[in-house]
Structure 1
Amino acid sequence: MSGGGAWQGNIKARLYERVRERGFDSLTAFAEAHPAVPLHILADELGNDVAAVQLLSGLLYEAELNQKVTRFVRDVLVRELAEGLPNGWPSILNDSSRFEVAMALGRWSAYTPETHEERVRQVRDMLLASPPPAGWRPLGPDDELLRTLLPDEGA
């Protein structure tokens, strides 16, 4: 977890310095090299003075620049599902598993940019109304089901 140092100094410069030290030219390239890894773990890999929300913000910024916000939204869902449902989608939605699904989908919704809120709400409702196969665990933002639910801009 990041300490208080995460909010000191030039945050953006620190993020890019850390990913370049690891051989990447962007936050997106760094994140793509670590698919389905929760954001807080990625942030910790960059140092104890980097917060997950800072990484999330930088990734959204790059996604907006590259007109790949929908892919970013799918990527965040993959990371939230990996953290909240490490064994994949539950076979039965009982009280306990429904809570775990709701938490993962709720965090995803909270991290969604305004431009995609309605689409995310629709996808969330579809996943709950017609759940994916038991054990489904997308390994990246290009998962076939996710691309069906949230197709790229212009697709």
Structure 2
Amino acid sequence: MSDGHAWDGNWRVRLYERVRERGYSSLTAFAEARPTASLVALADELGEDDVAGVQVLSGLLAEAEQRKQVTRFVRDVLVRMLSQSIPNGWPTVMDDANRFKVAKAIGRWSAYTPETHQKRVEQARAALRSSPPPPGWRPLGPDDELLRALLPDEEV
């Protein structure tokens, strides 16, 4: 993975040109077709040398804000972080190694969450700690039932 040229020129235009070249009307539609792919994997698919994961994240957030679906975006990012850190689902045994993997996913998720949703993410993190999901739980998209219970849609 190299995004050495990701910031050259107008990266937003390049990002959306690549999305359209692949037959999608929006970055969200492109990402939804790959619900467990990491942000870096999405960026690499759009342009291995000139699209960065943070650009994909930024574009997805902008589209979510326009559609008033930021909570769904927040759940989507959690799915991607969990898929990266614990690809086989929620650990059966929460030993130090698995605790680190979960913490890494949730920490990155928190870092990528817009300020408007930080309080809700803190509540969701606390709920995951106090009542962990069943072993093997692996959300495959932002509409996962457990995720919707943790972070229900609020936007109007």
TM over 0.5: yes
- Aligned pairs (5 A) from 1:23-34: 23-34=23-34
CA distance in structure 1 between the aligned counterparts of 2:2 and 2:21, rounded to whole angstroms? 19
* 1:113 alignment partner in structure 2: 114
CA distance in structure 1 between the aligned counterparts of 2:129 and 2:41, rounded to whole angstroms? 27
- Aligned pairs (5 A) from 1:26-105: 26-48=26-48, 49-105=50-106
Unaligned runs of 5+ in 2: none
1:112: Cα distance to partner? Answer: 0.2
Q: Is the contact between residue 70 and residue 155 of structure 2 (CA under 8 Å) also seen in structure 1?
A: no
Percent identity over the alignment? 69
Q: TM-score, normalised by structure 1?
A: 0.97
* 1:7 alignment partner in structure 2: 7
Between stretches 29-38 and 56-65, larger displacement belongs to: 29-38
1:154: Cα distance to partner? Answer: 4.9
Q: Is the contact between residue 74 and residue 141 of structure 1 (CA under 8 Å) also seen in structure 2?
A: yes
1:92: Cα distance to partner? Answer: 1.6
| Residue type of the alignment partner of 2:53 | A
User: Residue 5 of structure 2: SS of its match in structure 1?
Assistant: helix
Q: TM-score, normalised by structure 2?
A: 0.97
Unaligned runs of 5+ in 1: none
What RMSD over aligned residues (CA atoms) do the two structures have, in Å?
Answer: 1.0
Q: Is the contact between residue 2 and residue 47 of structure 1 (CA under 8 Å) also seen in structure 2?
A: no
| Residue type of the alignment partner of 2:8 | Q
Q: Does 1:152 align with 2:156?
A: no
Query: Number of aligned pairs?
Result: 155
CA deviations on 1:66-104 (whole Å, 9 max, x unpaired) are 000000000000000000000100012111110110000
